[in-house]
Structure 1
């Protein structure tokens, strides 16, 4: 199994052509990339979750049990049963996935296999949400508009391009109902935040047309937690947030065989949130974070044509235009010395603009081969206006005039990609899947008010990436899999060109940064027979050129504007090695409706920094969920129940602070939870669920990247459709 990843800047040496030739040869073998592990415990259309068919994983339809990669699927039924204030909460129990909010309530992100959220690609209907921040892409979409979520774990850039070092999350939105008109409404109340969520939708289909229009809103107060080290009152200050959403879909099916489909979608998401520092910097009297605006708007157009000819199985084209507006405000009042007071306020007003297009053709070129080829373009631009106001008072002198700094930057990244993938059925039980992507990335600083950066020129980077996977069924209930995949992420425009100030610290961009890259190996097994179903896998990932910050002292011409005490600059300095095991399993006791289950991950992640290395990487070594589910009928009414424990072992994080290593520790934790619900009427006209969370009122914090967990609370959800 041989694959290659090369970066091309000036010229292309002969060895690179050899690598390209070998990669092209491999790409004529397989397809399929991303397996699916359904979170739904129980039967799916008469089978188990191993029979669930995924599309985003391979960009072709493929059942979980036949897939060479690790994928999780959350279907519509599971989404309706689990009240959530964000999409991220629906994915919390997927093995290898962690939720992070970076101290900003309501702005949740996903980490996969320990990789930061910045290294995870977030797609909505296959179209990317970008985010030029240190923390990564928040999931800015209404859960009530979502039909299905698929997660691909591990480097996945062959089909999905940049940012897919940790994995890919694709969120599929709803279409029209299967009758002319259907009205739906629902709501949730959560005692953990004294918060509510409400939504309503109208949808339907007739004469080839289908449509859906929905609106939703929510409002959450400060989070309630168990009394202890995180809160003496049982309430976390500065954790309020609210969302407003509008979603629209219009589709039309046409053709002699109804094999052509056009769809137009519109999304608008508005978020307002507060931020809460998990720990105040030394000698700090005030540290406030406010995010009065984090808004996303998108228009997408889609075309799918099926069974075009004997050779062309499918044609897919989509294009979109998207804007993200965000406003950030930080206030700091500190006394680094008894006679010195620093009062600083900084703001950042940003707009991200995306537009792009993807074209894919599914082909039957050779016997026992399923081939796809595609081309993709993405334009990603950032406009940022930053202001800082600082007053440094040295007593007993009167306060001096404030030092005010204003800056404006505009930059963009253009990415052009070609990709191919082939699924080759060597025998009835042995399938080989391979893929290849060639991407050319152009970054450019369009405009800046910083004289030191005015002469900076853009960069060209070319990435050639490949993947290879195999599945083998030695006997019918068992499927074995193995695979290799590559991922990369280009530096954000902020890391390349912008200057950020917060908390009295300044970080400068560096246009000489290289892309981060990763290589991943996986093996696994899937089995289903006699009531037992499981999916287990092991993985090993090596990543390099991680972007970190370094003190400005000693920096040269490429970052000549980097100066000032306490200032730093982005550099390629770090590496990571991650390995682990993931498991999802259940056993159904005959036809009783009872099924014990377990899901979890054991992960070890070593970070190799410029001056030290550590396994204390804010990734718990062992985390997961174990429980017992029931699904059946009570007086001819479908009901379900689930009692489970969710938890993790102790978690550590080591960092360098003023030249010395500092290790922080979070204790292990576990919460006892109970959920039950049911439905009534034709087509589940009325449904409800009741969730008792953290019944024992456990005080805990899952990771350093997340706020302390909610204490004992109740969530009530109801929905009706007619």
Structure 2
């Protein structure tokens, strides 16, 4: 397989780009993920991050980048790994896309597995909360996070333009760079990008472990989170051919990282991902369809878990995903899209912590989205998806998984409806109702072994049924020029929520008999007795509230002032046991005061999280906290290039922050006080 690496130095990424002059490109607006019809009034609750707003929120991982958005929390497993949690749902219930197509990894399998993506290479992030994202499958039951990087330019480029960025500082002393170059002649377009990041062990307030877990004789390291350092490198090359009625293009990207597992001192994760993408769109067609859009991707992913210089476990995931969307001619008042979605992934794990068998998963789906402008004020939408999933395990001689020898097949149906009613020029009411089915994943079906990163012996159930949920949300939106925002509530009832439930038993955490797998017995190590957790289907209920407002305070000789307010609250309960579900974020409130004048901009942020005491019996509580952040930036021009120099401080009062949504909250707090400086250029 073709492979190449990027050796862009931190200075070269930005400064070689800034030395070039060009003609700027005006990009066309993107379509919100949940609605390929492009309606300005989207019924689904959604958030878009781009431009300066994305710059303010960017961190080393996707989960931390999105952590302050309404309804979105973080799984926080140190600076090397963090996935988003939406409305209390995580793992395989959150669909992470790259330009509308999934890129395979192993991040949903375990919290210590990173999403192979550097947010610095992303131009735009869309978050769609709730079941309205069903076009992307049952495993989007909690929502979709779609990132856009323009690696396949979808519109013509004339001349040369680009961007570069340098950052230094933060609680982990990050040294990062990212650069992008795009060129074209109005027909052919070329895209190149590269990024690099190195970071040290994370600075934290006090000790990593809670006081009740510390050994008086050996309390552990103070002021630093042990084994949390690492690096990330990546880049891509892509190109497209554009004509009046469409475009087509290809891209290749590479991601390479090495970081420590903060749950296992001395353990490193060495990760590589190669991703190939193809996309094409045909517009202004004659016949039954007005446009056709094709997207496809092939991914080859692997990561090795290394201890004392020796590889103990290797995880591999490779496969493809393809989808086609066809927008049909209006059928009376209806406008719509029909499509098909095909995917296959081949997952394998080799080594002493291979707690899941080799598994091939195939999926084929058909979907439909229709929209009806019923009146001048009322817009209605309806979506459906029928999906067939086949999960085929293979023990490969591993005696532990000898019983996992039967193929499981599932047919999942999902339906959703939405409405937006414009009450008057200021107020609008939006609502969604959805029924979603999700096929269980291979690890929920066949896991059987010690998972040291989570401190559990995980046991799947090959007899699990589909996960089924009925969900609804209602939001009141407003925009009067001074205030713009929304207040909404959501509710989900799961008939068969597949959770990892503690059995109360202890299991020996020693390694398995690996049969024919390549394995060196000299590197065996005992994990002792660890608690047993079973994948079980239970009845569950999720509900909560989300609110946000941007208030334009003033625009005078002293500058422009605005106040951003947001908050969210989620409650989740196992209805079979009466216990709260684990790892649910508490009530969170965010406020940001923004100021800009001429070339200057600044903001001050305050985030408050309440204590989380609604936890299962076997899970610890988390204390509340209030953090303070601030940033200032200055824009200037050099020739035909535009520059932004900025300073950003976070957790300036050095509070101990333990996320309730993190499985490592008792041993891995969030970053302490940090200051970061950066320089960004575009031309």
Change (3 A) 1:569 1:478: closer
Structure 2 runs not aligned, ≥5 long = 1-28, 210-219, 506-512, 514-527
C-alpha spacing 1:289/1:324, structure 2 compared with 1 (3 Å)? farther
Cα separation, partners in 2 of 1:602 and 1:502, compared to 1, 3 Å = closer
CA distance in 2, matches of 1:616, 1:505: 17
Q: Is the 8 A contact 1:551 1:566 kept in 2?
A: no
Structure 1: tracts of 5 or more residues without a match: 1-51, 278-286, 332-344, 389-405, 554-560, 656-660
CA distance in 1 between partners of 2:483 and 2:376 (Å): 24
Q: Match for residue 485 of structure 1?
A: 434
**In the alignment, is residue 667 of structure 1 matched against residue 631 of structure 2?**
no
Corresponding residue of 2:300: 323
Deviation at 1:184, TM superposition (A): 3.2
Aligned partner of residue 448 in structure 1, secondary structure: coil
Q: Deviations for 1:365-405, whole angstroms, at most 9, x for unmatched residues? A: 323321110011010211121226xxxxxxxxxxxxxxxxx
Q: Which one of the candidate residues 225, 230, 238 is aligned to 1:236?
A: 225
In 1, distance between residues paired with 2:45 and 2:358?
Answer: 38
Task: Provide the C-alpha distance between the structure 2 equivalents of 1:241 and 1:136, rounded to a whole number of angstroms.
Answer: 13
Q: Secondary structure at the match of 1:591?
A: strand
Tell me if structure 2 keeps the 8 A contact 1:117–1:136: no
Are 1:193 and 1:224, in contact at CA under 8 Å, matched by a contact in 2? yes
Partner of 1:225: 204
Distance 2:301 2:419 in 1: 40
- Map 1:165-176 → 2, pairs under 5 A: 165-175=141-151
Shift of 1:268: 1.1
- CA, structure 1 residues 693+470, in 2 after alignment: closer, same or farther (shift >3 Å)? same
Which residue, 559, 571, 584 being the options, matches 2:548?
584
1:645 to 584, 590, 606: 606
The question of 1:259 aligning with 2:249 is answered no
1:511-590 counterparts in 2 under 5 A?
Answer: 511-543=462-494, 544-549=496-501, 568=532, 570-590=534-554
Going from structure 1 to structure 2, the CA distance change for 1:294 and 1:262 (only over 3 Å counts) comes to same
Q: Deviations over 1:600-642 (max 9, x none)?
A: 1122222345xx3223633233103112112331xxxx32211
1:567–1:628: structure 2 CA closer, same or farther, 3 Å change rule?
Answer: closer
Q: 1:450 aligns with which of 392, 395, 398?
A: 398
With normalisation by structure 1, the TM-score equals: 0.79
- State which of 106, 117, 135 in structure 1 corresponds to 2:80: 106
Aligned to 1:15: none
Which of 558, 571, 577 is the equivalent residue of 1:604?
571
Q: For the residues of structure 2 that align with 1:669 and 1:489, how far apart are their CA atoms?
A: 36
Closer/same/farther in 2, CA of residues 100 and 545 from structure 1, 3 Å limit: closer
Rate the CA distance shift 1:652–1:234 in 2: closer, same or farther, 3 A: same
Counterpart in 2 of 1:470?
A: 419
CA distance in 2, matches of 1:362, 1:387: 49
1:367 matches 2:367: no
Does 2:368 match 1:420?
Answer: yes
Normalising by structure 2, we get a TM-score of 0.83
Aligned to 1:594: 561
Given that 2:312 and 2:351 are in contact with CA atoms closer than 8 Å, whether structure 1 keeps it comes out as yes
Bigger mean CA deviation after superposition, 704-713 or 209-218: 704-713
Superposed CA deviations along residues 91-141 of structure 1, whole A, max 9, x for unmatched, are 12210100113x343111010001123321100011113436144974321
2:347 pairs with 1:382: yes
SS at match of 2:251: strand
Is residue 284 of structure 2 the alignment partner of residue 307 of structure 1?
A: yes
Q: Distance in 2 between matches of 1:209 and 1:507?
A: 51
SS at structure 2 position matched to 1:507: strand
Cα distance 1:416–1:166, how it changes in 2: closer, same or farther (>3 A)? Answer: same
Work out the CA distance in 2 between the residues paired with 1:293 and 1:499. 24
Structure 1 CA distance for aligned equivalents of residues 266 and 441 of structure 2: 22
The alpha carbon displacement at 1:232 in A equals 6.3
**Aligned partners of 2:404, 2:145: CA distance in 1, in Å?**
38
Partner SS for 1:80: helix
For 2:268, the equivalent position in structure 1 comes to 291
**1:89 equivalent in alignment to 2:64:** yes
Shift of 1:426: 0.8
Give the secondary structure class of the aligned counterpart of 1:308.
coil
Q: Does 1:617 align with 2:582?
A: yes
Output one character per residue of 1:459-496: Cα deviation in whole Å (capped at 9) or x when no partner: 11101110011111121221111111233433222333
Contact persistence 1:201–1:215 (CA under 8 A): yes
Other structure's SS at 1:475 match: coil
Q: Deviation per CA, 1:41-68: give whole Å up to 9, x if none.
A: xxxxxxxxxxx874312122122xx111
Deviations, residues 661-715 of structure 1 (Å, cap 9, x unaligned): 3452211101111112132227761112210111211122122515312111101
Task: Give the conservation status (yes or no) of the 8 Å contact 2:82–2:111.
Answer: no
Q: Is it true that 1:703 corresponds to 2:652 in the alignment?
A: no
Aligned to 1:197: 176
Shift of 1:200: 2.4
Q: CA deviation at 1:552?
A: 11
**2:21 maps to which residue?**
none
The 3 A distance-change label for structure 1 pair 511 and 150 is same
Aligned residues: 608
SS of the aligned residue for 2:73 comes to strand
